[in-house]
Every structure is written in structure tokens, then in C-alpha cells.
Chain A
Amino acid sequence: MFGMNKNDTTMLLLVAVLTMLAPFILNPFPTDSGLAQFNAGYPDLMQRFVIFGIFAIGFNILFGLTGYLSFGHAAFLGVGSYSAVWMFKLLSMNVIPAILLSVAMAGVFALVIGYISLRRSGIYFSILTLAFAQMSFNLAYSVLTPITNGETGLQLTLNDPRILGVSQTADGSIPVTSLFGMEMRSTYEMVVGPWAFQFNVGYYLSALVLLAVFYLSIRIFRSPFGLMLRAVKSNQQRMNYTGLNTRPYTLAAFVISGMYAGLAGGLLASMDPLAGAERMQWTASGEVVLMTILGGAGTLIGPVLGAGFIKYFENIFSKINESVLHSWFSALPDGLEDLLVTLVYPFVGKGWHMTLGILFVLVVVFLPGGLVEGGQRITTWLRSKKADGNKPTSTTEPAE
């Protein structure tokens, strides 16, 4: 279907079902129950799932296929956000022109930065992108304050000269972002018994965009272009001696992934029209690297899984504070309770970054293929166990 093989179609449909039904799937616990804190079906959180999913899918086109590790992709996300907010300020509150400009601007930036950075490969490439990202951050944070509003971040005001639209609404407030009249923030709440499911316009717009770009990434992976990108990762020498010019291939991949990042940035600003320099910091670039690796670099579904996984646990872990921990372990004797709380506390709440760092190290050391590889290993293990049960003499497949 859609020019894809059966596996890819299944995967796309799976992602489609998951994203469309996310308000149900992510809200399994009744609102009043103690487990409601594990729900994730809130509009802003669901929006982050899919938007960072888009970011990671794009990053994977560069890193997963060509093996070029960029430490500067957050810069493109930031460029996208600033562009979108400017579009809201100057043109209209409609998200379409804002997102289009985000993608275009990020593409231009990626073209320039990629053109220079890709003249080197390996670690030099990583350091060049890192330098560019840090430079962009500094530019946004202080140098280009007239454009970025520096430390405070770029926001809408009551005096924006909006060409197609009004500076303020009738009641004197800042207009909200919308898609042809459908407000991004508008949420329909469906109450079913003790459950409350929220359907948000902004989320569904982002989810549809995710599906579109996920489909695009499947096509890229299966195309001759995608094959060439994997060949770049595998053996550049052979590429050159096969009459193929690697640089335009890597540059195209870099620009495409930069545009994905810009799209994500534009969507972020469309959901909440502000843009700050901290989105461009290189630690933010590190986060998208982690999402991609954790899910499985070079696989189609990996980045989506990785982004969802990290954003979900970021949300859950950040909410856990000392009193929550005490309530969890309250059934235990006091001494043991305190001990457990002390042991767990550094890793939750504000300590989420610590957990993230540990996770990063563990994944790179033990599971370089990420969650997807983990899943495959478990499947293989289960199958071999089953096969062993049936045929004790069966030989194991050669490892590759």
C-alpha cells in the first residue's frame, strides 16, 4: 500500500493507530485513582511526544543512515521556533505560514552549516556542528537580541503589527494560534465513567504531521537515495570509486534532517507561541541524539519510540517528589522507607537528568541498537527457546 512493502505498511498503520488513539491509550487510569499520575494523555505532553518524534525521525535520516553524528541539530529546532513566532507576530495567527517559514528557514541554515561542516567527517564533523550550535545559541542569547529577544525569549505582545489579523482581540488579549479558525489550544473533553479523555486540536495537527513525515521517512529509507546514504555509512572509499559523489548525498540528508528539526520547532511554537535560546543549547542536541540511539538509530520506528519513551519518563519522573516517594513506600517499616526514599530520590524529580545520563551510558554500552534491537533480541530468544523445546537438535543461526 502507498508504494510500501507489507512490513512498512503495517508499521505506518500501527503508528497511525497509536497516535490517533493516544488520548485513550495514554490515559488508562481513572482521573481520581492514585495511578492517575502515570497518565500521559494531556494535550501539552502528547504534543511533545509527537513533535519530538518528528525531530528524532529527522535526525535519524542523517545519523541513522549516514552515520554522521551531529551535535547541533537543536539549532535548527530553535531557528524553526523563532521563525514561526515572527510569522505570528507579523503575518497571521494561522499556523500554516508559520510552519512553512520554519521549515524553509531551518533548511537554509542547514544548507549553510551543512555545506561547511560536511567538508570534514568523523569527529571533526561532530565538533564543527557542536561549534555551530553553540555559536547559534550565543547569537540567539545575546548578540541577536533584536531578533530573538535574548534571555527572555521571543513572545507575542499586544502590539504586534499583524498584517492578516488583529493585534489584540476584542477583549484586549493576545490572539491564539489557529488553523483556519480552529484554535490549537481548544480541547474537547470526553468523560466516560471515571475517565476523562482529552482531544486537542494542536495534538491532532501535530500527529497528522508526524504521520506524514514518518511516511516520507519510510519512502526515503527504501529509496535509491536512502540506499546511497547507507552506503556512505558503510564505505565512503567504495562510494568514491564507484563514481558516486558522497558530499551532495550527505548534504541533502543534512538539509532534510535540518528541515525536520525546523518543522518540529515550528510546531512547538504553534502550540505555544514563544521561542527561547535554551532550545538551541547543545545539551538539547544531545537529547535528540539520545532519543534516536535509545529507540534504535537507523531503524524506522526507533526514533519515534525513543522520543516517546524519553518524553514520557521525563514527565513522570519529574513529577515524583519526596512526599510521593514516601507515600509509595509508606507500607514499609519506617527505617526501610526512609532508606528507599533516600536511595531513589536522587534519580527522580529534579534528578531526572541523572537517570537520563545513566540510561544514555547503559544503552550505548549494552544495547547500541536501542529498544528495537532489544525487542529483536527478546523475540529471537523466545523463538530459540520455543525451537529448542520442539527440536532439541536444532542449530543456532549464525550471528551477523
Chain B
Amino acid sequence: MGILEVKGVNKRFGGLQALGDVNLSVKENSVHAIIGPNGAGKSTLLNVLVGKLIPDTGSVMFDGQSVLGRAPYEINQMGISRVFQTPEIFGDLTVMENMMIPCFAKRDGAFEMNAIASVLSQKDVVEKAEHMLKEMNMADKRQMHAAALSRGDKRRLEIGMCLSQEPRLLLLDEPTAGMARADTNNTIDLLRQINEERNITIAIIEHDMHVVFSLADRITVLAQGKPLVEDDPQNIRGNPLVREAYLGESA
């Protein structure tokens, strides 16, 4: 049994079968990549996992509990964090404030009426956020407005925010899209470190095969909404079906 078990998930948009009988099993502490050509249903699948979309049929179990029908914030509180394709951060707030919010969410849950005490008096949260900023090499930028960060920094901040929630599963949607090679390599190192040192399971959607093959323990290939293959990276490389699916796409 994996930590995340997707079984027989179908999702239709009008006449379009976005997901057709998708099965997926993500093992605990692994890095699982989901690849496939454009329109293969990767993003739809991700949106199902985080509760933004509800599938027509099928089940999604996280750690033995169904996530279906729960709001995104509830699924997040179960231990699934999501990194977006374009970094989603609190642009109007400072980097430090950005980092404190998930710490509060971890400590106090989905809603806490803590309206009188000063933020700075919450020593545990302040310390945790500062510690996290240091780990992300962003301590010197703590007072900057998050909107003013470079794209790479925004991405790091977003990942740091997810990590400070101590999730059990981290979902990433093309985290290196549009990045320079050096930044991409840094991100690969960061993700590997997250997986190995923090024991966080990672499910990643990626176009860049370099990223996929440097990170993944297991790969699922989607094509036209259907799972084509699920296998280890070395087997995926030589699989003729996969080559065919990608032909004309990025072969």
C-alpha cells in the first residue's frame, strides 16, 4: 500500500474525457514523477488530488483516508502540500510573514481566533519561520515584500512554506518550468534533500526529462487521460509505448 492510492478515477468535461480510469500508487518516501504530453490530464489529476476538482468516479485515498469531497484546506491539513507552476505566495506580505502563515496553520489548524496577542509574541512560530528561512537561504531577505523577489526566490519561498507545514506528501506542478539550468539543478538538489533528509514523499509533474530522471524512483506516464505505464525510470527509458506517446511531442 502506498501513501497515496488513486483507483479508477474518471473525470469528464463535457465531451472530453480528461481522466480515464487512472490508477496511481505513490509509495511512502519515494519520488514519484507523473509525465506525459500536453493534454494528458496531469494537471487535472493534480487538481483532483488537492480537492479542487471532484472526479466523476473512483477513489483517492491518502494514508488510508479518502480525500474526495474535502475542501482544499482540509486536504492540506491531512498532510498534502502543493507547489504551483507559477509560485503562489502572499505578494503583499514580507518574506518572514509569508513563512509564518504556514507555521500558524500547522500549529493552530484551519481557523484560530488569535486576535489579541502580537504575532511577534508567538515565539515558537517566529523561531520556526526564521529557522526555515535560514534553511532556504533567505534569511537576509526576511523583510522584503515577497512580490519583489526573483522568480527563483519565490519558488524557494513557496517550497519553504510548504515544508514548514511538515507535510507527508509534497505535490509539485512543473517546479522548474521557465528556469535557467543552474536554477533547475539547485531545485533538483533541494528536492532530493527534502526527500532524503525530511522523509517527505514527493509527487512531481514535470516536462523536463532531465529533472524527472535525476529525481524519480518511480514514473507514471499519462497519455490522453489514461495511464500508459507505471514503472521504474530505467524501464521507462526503453519502453516503446512511452517513446510513441512522446513522438511528435518532444521525442
B97 & A227 in contact (Cβ 8 Å cutoff) = yes
Could you list which residues of chain A lie within 8 angstroms of chain B, going by C-beta atoms? Answer: 3-5, 219-220, 222-228, 230-231, 233-235, 237-246, 248-249, 252, 256, 398, 400
B50, B89, B108: the one contacting A238 at CB < 8 Å is B89
Q: Does A243 contact B116, Cβ atoms closer than 8 Å?
A: no
Contacts A222-B119, A224-B117, A224-B119 hold; do A244 and B105 have CB atoms under 8 A apart? yes
Report B165-186 residues with CB < 8 Å from chain A CB. 165
Verify if B81 is at the interface (C-beta below 8 Å from A).
Answer: yes
Please give me the residue from chain A that is nearest to B76 by CB atom: A243
On B, residues with C-beta under 8 Å from A are 50, 71-74, 76-77, 81-82, 84, 88-93, 97, 100-102, 104-106, 108-122, 125, 145, 147-148, 161, 165
In angstroms, Cα B100 to Cα A117, docked, is 29
A–B pairs, 20, beta carbons within 8 Å: A3-B121, A219-B115, A220-B115, A220-B116, A222-B119, A223-B118, A224-B119, A227-B101, A231-B90, A231-B97, A233-B92, A234-B90, A235-B90, A240-B72, A241-B76, A242-B165, A244-B73, A244-B101, A245-B111, A248-B111
State the majority secondary structure of interface residues on A: helix
Given A222-B120, A243-B110, A244-B110, 11 new contacts (CB under 8 A)? A4-B118, A227-B119, A230-B93, A231-B90, A235-B89, A240-B71, A243-B73, A243-B76, A243-B77, A243-B106, A248-B110
* Structural contact, A241 and B81, CB atoms closer than 8 A: yes
Q: Which of A230, A242, A249 contacts B161 (CB 8 A)?
A: A242
CA–CA, A235 and B89, complex, Å: 7
* CB < 8 Å A-B pair total: 116
Contact A228 B101 (CB under 8 A): yes
A235 to B158, CA, bound (A): 13
Q: Is there an interface contact between B73 and A245, defined as CB atoms closer than 8 Å?
A: yes
B83 to chain A minimum Cβ distance, whole angstroms, is 9
Measured between beta carbons, the chain B residues less than 8 angstroms from A4 are 118
Chain B residues whose C-beta falls within 8 Å of the C-beta of A230 in the assembled complex: 90, 92-93, 97
- Minimum CB–CB distance from A143 to chain B (whole Å) comes to 35
What separation, in Å, do the CA atoms of A381 and B75 have in the docked complex? 49
The docked-state distance in angstroms from the alpha carbon of A239 to that of B104 is 11
Cβ–Cβ contact B112 & A224, under 8 A: yes
Which 3 pairs show the lowest CB-CB distances between chains A and B? A243-B76, A225-B115, A234-B90
Question: Quick one: closest A residue to B88, CB to CB?
Answer: A238
Is A231 a contact of B115 with CB atoms below 8 Å?
no
Interface residue from A227, A234, A241, A245 paired with B50 (Cβ < 8 Å):
A241
Q: With the chains together, A99 CA to B202 CA distance in Å?
A: 56
Task: Output the residue of B88, B89, B118, B121 with the most chain A CB within 10 A.
Answer: B118
B104 and A228 within 8 A (CB): yes
Which of A227, A235, A244 sits near B91, CB closer than 8 Å? A235
**Cα distance, A233 to B93, chains bound together (Å):** 10
Chain A residues whose C-beta falls within 8 Å of the C-beta of B104 in the assembled complex: 224, 227-228
In the bound complex, do residue A245 and residue B88 qualify as a contact, i.e. CB atoms below 8 Å apart? no
When the two chains form the complex, which single residue of A219, A223, A231, A248 contacts B101, counting CB atoms closer than 8 Å?
A231
**Closest CB in chain B relative to A280 CB, distance in Å:** 28
Report the minimal beta-carbon distance from B238 to chain A, rounded to whole angstroms: 37
| Distance of A400 Cα from B165 Cα, bound (Å) | 29
* Chain A residue at minimal CB-CB distance from B146: A234
Q: Which residue of A lies closest to B118 (CB)?
A: A222
